[in-house]
Amino acid sequence: MTSLHTTRVRRRRLGVAAAAAGLFATLLAAGPAVATPDPGDVSAPAKLSAAAVADASAAIKAGEIPGVDEIVHSGNIKHLSNTPKDALAGTNSDLAFQGKYAFAGNYDGFRIFDLSNPKAPKTVAQVLCPGSQNDITVSGNLLFLSTDSSRSDNSCSSVTQPASEKSSWEGMKIFDISDKRNPKYVAAVETACGSHTHTLVPERKDVYIYVSSYSPSASFPDCQPPHDGITVIKVPRKSPEKSSIVNFPVLFPDGGNPGGTTNPGVSTTSGCHDITVLASKDLAAGACMGDGILLDIKNPERPKVIDRVQDNVNFAFWHSATFNQDADKVVFTDELGGGGAATCNEAIGPNKGADGIYDIVGRGDHRKLVFRGYYKIPRHQASTENCVAHNGSVIPVKGRDIMVQAWYQGGVSVWDFTDSSRPKEIGYFERGPVSATSNVTGGSWSAYYYNGYIYSNDIAKGFDVLKLDDRRTDPAKRVRLDELNVQTQPDYFDHHDD
């Protein structure tokens, strides 16, 4: 039986074993090779040294980290429910929301939940449609799904096929979800280098999609270098079958961060990993491997780079971005180790695999991103736990900047960055390691706040619902949205409070 604790008295100084020190050296030396983002299909557990296993086991035995699958959380968070995986056994990925429904991506397809009772979400539909990583969004009656693995064709019955074969397919899939119990696959658009993630820019008659993909190769016919931009797709709402690519804006005419021997340990930029748009301000922020960028999107078909920053000391892979509500800050995440490594420990330290907080200063095309500070969860994790900054969202509280964020096996963290240079955690939820003897990929992929609750899609354990009760965040409970795609960041206070 899983036990529940509301506080954690102490934390072991994990990561000082030789195994952790060795990992740190490997991460620094290997550069882009270890920065391939996001765990793919779950493979065999990584074997750890005897010292690392002993370190984790001793910490669990002493009660200094949670036991295997044991749940711990701060006093202001309650765990309301967990819905395990069902027909879709692959890696759970991102989340989107509409009305009373949640849409949960999985490397094998997607699942739709009815959230009418957050203590007992009901499965409405499960759609088998393999194609990592199945990044997911919704807009009106349309659902969009990213395919970033080379497939034999664009159908949901396709099989894996080498990217070196010209007939292989990767890109965007589009479903009609007017009947939530029976989604229908209606269109597909092939994109260069696939679609690792995508971001919606909804207009009245059309939906624009910014497709992020990367890692071209001369041996891939449909993913040739250089690949220094993003793909823009236009989707007519009433005729999604007519969806097509309308532009491929080059965001890095100089090629972007060279990484490699020039900037050891930093990914070479060859596209973007993820983009967040704040349509109410005509702004977007891009996390692009070795670069962070600020974009003007007044013309959604032609996004324009306003500013660009690098962190060649502490960032390995610029993974995602989040604006604060006032659009004068951006939080960028660094996915050190690709999401599969144990990087939340003393050896790695507080600045690598962390969030970078940037203020936006100036006006118009003269706006600049100015670094202010780092945030990383303050709880060290075991050497068997993959842990690094991942997907999160703003919690809508006027006058404060507060986020909830996934950290893989580091769990879910609620933190305040109102003071950009002094961020602090104000709540957390996590499970103990999936395994005490092997590095088994697991933990929260995405943790988002939607209409009064926190929803987390755990890679291995399923769909979690959390309730946050805290005077600092309670005002957010009055904010209601009809739809939420986190990377299409809403202006929360344009909506009426209940």
pLDDT of 294: 98
- Return the closest-CA partner of residue 144 out of 168, 169, 190, 175: 175
Distance of CA 162 to the CA centre of its chain: 26
pLDDT of 457: 98
pLDDT of 42: 43
pLDDT of 50: 82
Write a three-state SS string for the chain. Answer: CCCEECCCCCCCCCCCCHHHHHHHHHHHHHHHHHCCCCCCCCCCCEECCHHHHHHHHHHHHCCCCCCCCCEEECCCEEEEEEECCCCCCCCEEEEEEECCEEEEEECCEEEEEECCCCCCCEEEEEEECCCCEEEEEEECCEEEEEEEEEECCCCCCCCECCCCCCCCEEEEEEEECCCCCCCEEEEEEECCCCCCEEEEEECCCEEEEEEECCCCCCCCCCCCCCCCECEEEEEECCCHHHCEEEECCECCCCCCCCCCCCCCCCCCCCCCCEEEEEHHHCEEEEEEECEEEEEECCCCCCCEEEEEECCCCCCCCEEEEEECCCCCEEEEEECHHHHCCECCCCCCCCCCCCEEEEEEECCHHHCEEEEEEEECCCCCCCCCCCECCCEEEECCCCCCCEEEEEEEECCEEEEECCCCCCCEEEEEEEECCCCCCEECCCCEEEEEEECCEEEEEECCCEEEEEEECCCCCHHHHHECCCEEECCECCCHHHCCEC
pLDDT of 192: 97
Domains of the chain with bracketed CATH: 4-494 (2.130.10.10)
- Return the closest-CA partner of residue 294 out of 354, 359, 240, 339: 359
pLDDT of 45: 58
- Full pLDDT tens readout for the chain, 498 residues: 333 444 443 454 444 443 343 444 444 433 333 334 454 444 455 667 787 788 788 888 887 889 999 999 999 999 999 999 999 999 999 999 999 999 999 999 999 999 999 999 999 999 999 999 999 999 999 999 999 999 999 999 999 999 999 999 999 999 999 999 999 999 999 999 999 999 999 988 999 999 999 999 999 999 999 999 999 999 999 999 999 999 999 999 999 999 999 999 999 999 999 999 999 999 999 999 999 999 999 999 999 999 999 999 999 999 999 999 999 999 999 999 999 999 999 999 999 999 999 999 999 999 999 999 999 999 999 999 999 999 999 999 999 999 999 999 999 999 999 999 999 999 999 999 999 999 899 999 999 999 999 999 999 999 999 999 999 999 999 999 999 999 999 998 874 444
In this structure, how many other beta carbons lie within 10 angstroms of the beta carbon of residue 405?
27
Rounded CA gap, 258 and 281, in Å?
Answer: 31
Residue with tokens 């194609």: 131
What tokens appear for 222 in the block?
């449909």
Global confidence as pTM: 0.93
pLDDT of 184: 98
Rounded CA gap, 276 and 55, in Å?
Answer: 39
Determine the residue type at 181.
Answer: R
- Adjacent-strand bridge partners of 198: 211
Write a three-state SS string for 80-100. Answer: EEEECCCCCCCCEEEEEEECC
**Crossing angle of helices 50-61 and 18-30, rounded to 10°:** 120
> What does the buried/exposed string (b/e) look like for 149-170 if buried means 16 or more CB atoms within 10 Å of the residue's CB?
bbbeebebebeebebeeeebbb
